[in-house]
Amino acid sequence: MITLPDLTGRTVVITGASSGIGLATAHAFGAAHARVVLAVRDTAKGTAAAASIPGETDVRHLDLADLDSVRRFADRWSDPIHILVNNAGVSSPTRQQTRDGFELQFGTNHLGPFALTNLLLPHVTGRVVALSSQAERTGRINFDDLNFERTPYQESRAYAAAKLANLLFITELQRRLTEAGSPVLAAAAHPGLVATPMTTGSGGTLTRLIVRHLAQSPAQGALPVLFAATADIPPGSFTGPEHAMHMRGGAELIGRSKHSKNPELARRLWTVSEDLTGIKFGL
């Protein structure tokens, strides 16, 4: 278990907090007396979820697949943010596009959080946490075809690339924060194998059976996220479960692929992300 400090007076923003790991994370922060802001696509669902969270909550609309929505969210924000958790993510069996024309997984899982973080960064005082996955180990980013317009689309391939992008984002974000003399710490978390609406609704029959019988609960999956958000860890850390090859139980620092630590690759992705979103480093 993770024992959180008293977060009275602190604000935590969590994307996709109306269900799954995001909701479990929100519950834990609420129990630690933080003000929890649920940044969600469906505000009615978010309001229902907020009613189950202890303490002060706030529900605000945010669609990471729409950069205009991301800008509106950031434009209306004025308070300090102690912890920003980029939790929301999607996985799609067929190729789909965001409102801005990006491949859905890359656009929602990486470009949306990239834009949101940089726009909110002037308000962030503590930490930025991105949810990644050990799937990043098989991820490769094809800069010549980021939107799978010519490459045959495969859900797992697109997902792994997006999760690698999450770690590269944290790598370069931390480098920039350190260079700027900022006290803000960036980290990534791998929740392990968790039964959520996304994992139970994607993949083939075998995948769904594995999830049904072996996956842990969202509350357990939230532990590495909470660890990344509050523990005394090095800048740019990657956290995950302690057991079953980092797929179940507890939280600790874990390893990552050499690609995710490649500074040149991280800088290249950052530059491309700035070009695609029109949003620069936030400090």
Task: Tell me which residues are annotated as active site.
Answer: 159
Q: What angle (nearest 5°) sits at the alpha carbon of residue 225, between those of residues 36 and 4?
A: 65
Q: Which residue has the tokens 């792994």?
A: 160
Measured CA distances, 157 to 42, 85, 196 (Å): 28, 24, 20
Structure tokens at 175: 């480098």
Residue 275 CB: number of other CB atoms within 10 A?
A: 9
